[in-house]
A and B are shown apart, each in its own frame.
Chain A
Amino acid sequence: DSGVTQTPKHLITATGQRVTLRCSPRSGDLSVYWYQQSLDQGLQFLIQYYNGEERAKGNILERFSAQQFPDLHSELNLSSLELGDSALYFCASSPTSSGGRDEQFFGPGTRLTVL
């Protein structure tokens, strides 16, 4: 158990809909990272928040947004969903803002299926 929790574990929805994925980091970690993992694209970095502020951005679509709240939990919002958004979405956390050096602790993931 990494100490990172993600809800829900599974999510099935229809095209055009909007969903929210939730992540609680390990106690004491200030950074939260979101990743998308699909069969053909591997593990893709989406976005990082550090202590409530956006820190780094990756290949995140404009239809996706995220935020980190004062209690450090984070939410990833996916809107106007398309079939191609079906994937595993992972949240990870680390103690500092140095995502390139810190060990990142991954949650169990949310499997999103868009029908």
Chain B
Amino acid sequence: TQLLEQSPQFLSIQEGENLTVYCNSSSVFSSLQWYRQEPGEGPVLLVTVVTGGEVKKLKRLTFQFGDARKDSSLHITAAQPGDTGLYLCAGGSTASKLTFGTGTRLQVTL
């Protein structure tokens, strides 16, 4: 069974701070996706990384896929209250399904 562990589980920071969320597994994935979910809504895709070592930037968010394609990180620079939400990583395999991580709940306060 493929498992994706995210850390930290909860994160409460002030506006302007930087943070990093980690997504780790003992399994190799063909792709890694990051989603953000807000209360009462479904997850929304932020980015997909497919190559080991790949780094993608989305404004203040930087995503990295580990060289061995077993782990990933999400770094947010100068967090804003609008970044508040549940961040989920999801590993894709040659099979059809995505395996979702355990989630990181981020709260950014003024």
Contact = CB atoms under 8 A, between A and B. Distances in A.
Interface of A: 2, 4, 31, 33, 35, 42-45, 48, 50, 55-56, 58, 90, 92, 97-101, 103-109
21 contacts: A33-B97, A33-B98, A43-B43, A44-B100, A50-B96, A97-B96, A99-B97, A99-B98, A100-B30, A100-B96, A100-B97, A100-B98, A101-B30, A101-B48, A103-B33, A103-B48, A106-B42, A107-B42, A108-B41, A108-B42, A109-B41
A6 to B, nearest CB: 8
Given A42-B103, A43-B100, A45-B100, A101 B31 contact: yes
B88 interface: yes
Contacts of B95: 56, 99-100
Contacts of A42: 88, 100-103
Contacts, number: 69
Nearest to B100: A43
B40 A99 contact: no
A29 to B, nearest CB: 14
Interface residues of B, number: 24
Given A43-B100, A100-B95, 8 more contacts: A4-B42, A42-B101, A45-B100, A99-B95, A99-B98, A100-B98, A106-B43, A106-B44
Among A42, A55, A90, the one with the most B-chain Cβ atoms within 10 Å of its Cβ is A42
Contacts of A33: 97-98
A100 B42 contact: no
Nearest to A99: B96
Contact of B96 (A56, A105, A106): A56
